[in-house]
Structure 1
């Protein structure tokens, strides 16, 4: 996923850029409104999402947001220290898809990116009811935190559900142990990650045939959706 990061505060931008790269995003960082409009207007390799700061040195971020929306349907997430309700409302009315107030965590930004991207995707009949379908057998209702396999609800422990929800955000993507522990357990988790292996084993057993969770030695795990319902 290609991200255009528009932020003139170097420490904030570097921290966010490193975090996004760690989660597998491709990031192009620019510092001015003009650079943002030029980059977003390039016909080759369009961006999947724009993270836009409002406090830019050459232009008001709200004007940049309006110009971006006028020329493209690319999702825009405003990231700003302006936390007043008026700024949030104006940003959304000008075409922003979401608004994150500083200070923020990388995980929050990534969660908002994924939420915006899900809203942009065409919805299937099962998704209209709040459920996301993975292959022919598995559905996950994130609103209700419920999982169904072949139409029958699967009993998952809370962390088993959180792990499955995280891995299915990007099927096929390799997630490191550190990424998973930070997202599912705690950003400040220290110590052995054997609990992760236990939860992976439980998901493999309960969802056998519908998904395959591959272990990449020394790195982490990758979830593969078995489209034909058989193990990969």
Structure 2
């Protein structure tokens, strides 16, 4: 085999690395076994501090993060991750409160799953998140920049700029903004937006869309209370105003 073919083979064999931050050893080991059987590389952290350390050291492709952790909890770990990475984060929670789930999603989580859960469902959700992340972050030549007055959405670079300044969006925030900006003037219901970004077979709270819209507005609107880009169409949903 030529050296170029060997190099191509090594690139093809590169695996996605999943960091699992879970203090219950049995759950962590179970998740690891299932992910290894599906061809992933896996690292396990049993508390928040170790999770952050491994995150900085290994730069994982995706993070599975428990909310309830000893010491540094999952919400704080997520905040720290989101300061420097848009890698997908799937949160695990044993709580039934929808408030906890929305809080997690509102600060940048991409998905959540409630304990007890099926390991196969977890793996399926991880694969779905990676497909979406790689698609929206694909630096292919077909991507371009969407420009609206002072707002620029770089589909190729997976970045957003407002008046020449970088806007730090999570992966899901970027996907939602990019999708709406691709169809300026078109009104989408919360259900349509949820299905497009999170998947029609994903079971969750439609208020997640409301939380994400609010977060995006706080980052791109001159006055979030009087938005010029993402507008509410009362009784219907939301639209992106391309004439802003």
Q: Which residue of 2 aligns with 1:68?
A: 81
Q: Which residue of 1 aligns with 2:19?
A: 4
The DSSP-based 3-state class of the residue aligned with 2:72 is coil
- Ranges in structure 2 where 5+ consecutive residues have no aligned partner: 1-15, 143-244
Please report how far the alpha carbon of residue 66 of structure 1 lies from its aligned counterpart in structure 2 after TM superposition: 1.0
Match for residue 122 of structure 1 among 106, 128, 135: 135
Match for residue 96 of structure 1 among 92, 109, 113: 109
Following the alignment from structure 2 to structure 1, what is the Cα–Cα distance between the partners of residues 32 and 79?
24
The DSSP-based 3-state class of the residue aligned with 2:44 is strand
Q: Which residue of 2 aligns with 1:77?
A: 90
Contact 2:34 2:123 in 1 (8 A): no
The DSSP-based 3-state class of the residue aligned with 1:87 is helix
Which runs of structure 1 show a deviation greater than 2 angstroms over 4 or more consecutive aligned residues?
121-125
- Distance change in 2, residues 1:21/1:122 (3 Å): closer
Following the alignment from structure 2 to structure 1, what is the Cα–Cα distance between the partners of residues 133 and 25?
30
Following the alignment from structure 1 to structure 2, what is the Cα–Cα distance between the partners of residues 38 and 78?
18
Please report how far the alpha carbon of residue 115 of structure 1 lies from its aligned counterpart in structure 2 after TM superposition: 1.1
Q: Which residue of 2 aligns with 1:153?
A: none
Structure 1 residues 65-124: Cα deviation after superposition (integer angstroms, max 9, x where no partner) = 111111211110001112311011000011100001001111111111111112112359
Q: Which residue of 1 aligns with 2:63?
A: 50
The DSSP-based 3-state class of the residue aligned with 2:75 is helix
Contact 2:48 2:77 in 1 (8 A): yes
Q: Which residue of 2 aligns with 1:105?
A: 118
Q: Which residue of 2 aligns with 1:37?
A: 52
Q: Which residue of 1 aligns with 2:7?
A: none
Contact 2:32 2:42 in 1 (8 A): yes
Following the alignment from structure 1 to structure 2, what is the Cα–Cα distance between the partners of residues 33 and 19?
22
Following the alignment from structure 1 to structure 2, what is the Cα–Cα distance between the partners of residues 111 and 122?
17
Contact 2:91 2:113 in 1 (8 A): yes
TM-score normalized with structure 2 length: 0.48
Question: What value does the CA root-mean-square deviation take over the aligned residues?
Answer: 1.6
Please report how far the alpha carbon of residue 24 of structure 1 lies from its aligned counterpart in structure 2 after TM superposition: 1.2
The DSSP-based 3-state class of the residue aligned with 1:57 is coil
Following the alignment from structure 1 to structure 2, what is the Cα–Cα distance between the partners of residues 70 and 6?
18
Following the alignment from structure 1 to structure 2, what is the Cα–Cα distance between the partners of residues 40 and 83?
28
The DSSP-based 3-state class of the residue aligned with 2:135 is coil
The DSSP-based 3-state class of the residue aligned with 1:40 is helix
Following the alignment from structure 1 to structure 2, what is the Cα–Cα distance between the partners of residues 67 and 82?
22
